[in-house]
Amino acid sequence: MSSMPTDHVPPGDDPEDGAPILDVRGVSVTYDDVQALDDVSVSLRAGSICGLIGVNGSGKSTLFKALMGLVAPQQGTVELFGRTTAAARRAGLVAYMPQAEEVDWTFPVSVSDVVGMGVYGRLGAARRLRPADRAAVGEALERVGLTDLGRRQIGRLSGGQRKRVFIARSIAQDARLLLLDEPFAGVDQASERTMTALLRDLREEGRSVLVSTHDLAGVPEFCDEAVLLHRRVLAHGHPAAVLTQGNLARAFGAAPSDDDPRPLHPAATGES
Amino acid sequence: MDVLAFLVEPLQYGFLTRALAVTVAAAVVAAVLSCWLILMGWSLMGDAVSHAVLPGVALAYIIGIPFSIGAFVFGAGAVALIGIVRSTTKLKADTVIGVVFTALFAAGLAIVSATPSQIDLMHILFGNVLGVSSGDVWQVLILGAVTLAILLFKRRDLTLLAFDRTHAHVIGLNTRFLSALLLGLLALTVVVGLQAVGIILVVAMLITPGATAFLLSRSFDRMLVIAVVLTVAASVTGIYASYYLDISTGAAVVLSQAIVFAVVYLVGRPDGVLWQARRRRPGSPVGGRRRSPDAVAAAVAPRRGADDAATSGA
Ligand SMILES: Nc1ncnc2c1ncn2[C@@H]1O[C@H](COP(=O)(O)OP(=O)(O)OP(=O)(O)O)[C@@H](O)[C@H]1O
Ligand SMILES: [Mg+2]
């Protein structure tokens, strides 16, 4: 982490010959009467780490859901690797790292069981791991430094180790696009550094990462580009160009919406 | 009377060997299914499906078709109805389940009461395992074997579904199909189990073995094995208890399972309730060993996040 990646150029051997990894065009998502995304367009090229920034309720998780095909936009289109989201999913190109509170940590599965779930997409109907798949799981565990803990039940890990299990799962999957929704929430500085180093290694292999984060200070060092979201895309580009005083004031200062009370009346609701 | 005679005597009666076969077969299938059911948080769904089959069983008797067809149609129908109401309203799942299954159960009672001479309600509700014919036995064995085979063949997908549905979706699995499959197998398991213990107590077979095994397991495959072993032991014990103590077979089987659960809950694991109580007493011999060896190792391991403290006690 010596210097800022001022001009990170995506690798030229882009397997999708220049087609964007992720192409969101004019997407609007409305839940009942709440508009979560309004005419959002974002595109991302191979081999970059893109930070997704915005206040609580600005639509970050909704954008992830749209990318995974978990919500259907009322308007607009989402393409991944030049295909529909469903086709990209079936090809095993996308990995999602769940937020800690979405995971049942009491579930009787071991660390290597979970990482093994990364390869299910390319297995037969019974999902029996072949020797090559076991090797891929072992390699993934090694890369995240969890080799010795493979047999542990997942709840018996520290917060930082838990996150690395899911990074290992996307490595075993060999996903080309990693979607991480607030991976640094509740993680200490040392663990965050370990994870960002890992993600940057994955980026060097030509994988792409879309990561939502509240750690604004870490963005310029960690991310190649940033998207500032507030129901619409307020800014998209180099982190330094996105994280200007003016933009941040627009995104965090004067929240115009009634369903996003945090910046204006902090004690109004417990929603997050 | 020596032990061998004690064990062999009941088996001289054909009705008891048939009861044993039906109960053990049903219990094994239910125990395997229960492992996923409790991890999905679907215990209430088991309750719902088992009650909802009543009109199906009653109608099957009236029309004269195998009861399992009627039961399956209504069990699967209840699941579908719950799914439809749930996805088209903002009601919570337990509310929808409560409305649908009580309605179907009441419909079943109404049908039975309108045709009192043909159907023995007590047998449907509480089972009549001592009265099963060899045809019934075959029906249970075949349906049970099919259900078990599908469950075991798809076990990795079902475990993934229970653990991380989003990941299953993201890697291109059909999560709707898998949910529907598990619910369909639930309906089949109810059909298999109601012969043994009736539709009220089949719920216990669908929940208790998984719950007991969960307390003892850190891996899913182990959980399956433990659930099956314990449920077989409890079923056999229940049948013998019912023979020697002259109590209802269904009740004896379910009580045996509950006793196994209670024993495991109290003393069956290092953090069992009784051990914890002993440890809390000052000066007790195990007073110093508050943590499992793993937790101690975790605590002394160098360079770890502050969140260790939160996890090591778990
Ligand atoms: N399932 C839902 N039903 C109704 N409204 C929803 C739902 N999910 C999100 N919303 C609303 O959509 C808006 C965007 O929510 P979203 O979860 O995408 O925000 P976010 O940027 O991820 O917030 P956070 O930083 O708190 O995670 C919010 O106003 C939220 O209340
Ligand atoms: Mg969110």
CA A103 to ligand 2 centroid distance, Å: 15
pLDDT value at A201 more than 50: yes
Please give the angle made by the CA atoms of B105, B106 and B112, to the nearest 5 degrees: 90
Atom of ligand 1 nearest to the CA of A257: 29
Query: Does the residue B210 lie in any domain?
Result: no
The predicted model scores a pTM of 0.85
What's residue B270's pLDDT? 65
| Mean of pLDDT values over A196-210 | 94
Q: Among the three residues B184, B203, B222, which one is the final residue of a domain in this structure? A: B203
Token reading at B33: 């299914």
Residue A19, pLDDT score: 74
A50-104 pLDDT per residue, tens: 999 999 999 999 999 999 999 999 999 999 999 999 999 999 999 999 888 889 9
Q: How many domains does chain B have?
A: 2
- CATH class label, A18-91+215-253: alpha beta
pLDDT band at A191 (very low <50, low <70, confident <90, very high): confident
Q: Domains of chain A: which residue ranges?
A: 18-91+215-253
Please name the member of A90, A95, A190 whose beta carbon is closest to the beta carbon of B305: A190
Taking the C-alpha atoms of residue B51 and residue B206, their distance in angstroms, rounded to an integer, is 13
Task: Note whether residue B213 is domain-resident.
Answer: no
pLDDT above 90 covers a percentage of chain A that reads: 68
What ipTM did this prediction achieve?
Answer: 0.86
Query: What residue ranges line ligand 1, CB within 6 angstroms?
Result: A 31-32, 34, 36, 54, 56-62, 259-260, 272
CA-closest candidate to residue B171, choices A69, A210, A195, A231 = A69
In this structure, is residue B258 part of a structural domain?
Answer: no
Q: Do A159 and B311 touch (CB under 8 A)?
A: yes
Cβ neighbours of B159 in A, within 8 Å: 109
DSSP strand pairing (A208-212 vs A225-230): unpaired
Nearest CA to ligand 1 atom 11: A36
**Across the beta sheet with A94-97, what order do the strands follow?**
A94-97, A177-181, A208-212, A49-53, A225-230, A232-237
Same domain, B198 and B287: no
Residue of chain B whose alpha carbon sits nearest to that of A101:
B164
What is the mean predicted confidence (pLDDT) over A196-209?
A: 94
> Residue A215's pLDDT band (boundaries 50, 70, 90)?
confident
Distance CA(A176)–CA(A181), nearest Å, equals 16
Question: Which stretches does DSSP call E strand in A82-207?
Answer: 83-84, 94-97, 177-181
Q: Is residue B249 part of a domain?
A: no
pLDDT of A249: 87
- Going by alpha carbons, the residue nearest to atom 25 of ligand 1 is A56
- Residue A58 CA: nearest ligand 1 atom is 21
On whether any CB of chain A is under 8 Å from the CB of B39, the answer is: yes
Out of B158, B173, B203, pick the residue that ends a domain.
Answer: B203
Mutate to test the interface with A, among B171, B214, B218, B311 (most CBs of A within 10 A): B171
List the single best residue of B167, B226, B308 to mutate versus A (max A Cβ within 10 A): B167
- Residue B53, judged by CB atoms within 10 A of its CB (0-12, 13-18, 19+), counts as buried
Report whether B46 contacts B37 (CB < 8 A): yes
Whole-number average pLDDT of chain A: 86
| Regions of chain B with pLDDT less than 70 | 1, 117-118, 270-273, 278-314
* CA distances (Å), origin B3, targets B7, B9, B239: 6, 10, 16
Domain with B302, as residue range(s), is: 282-313
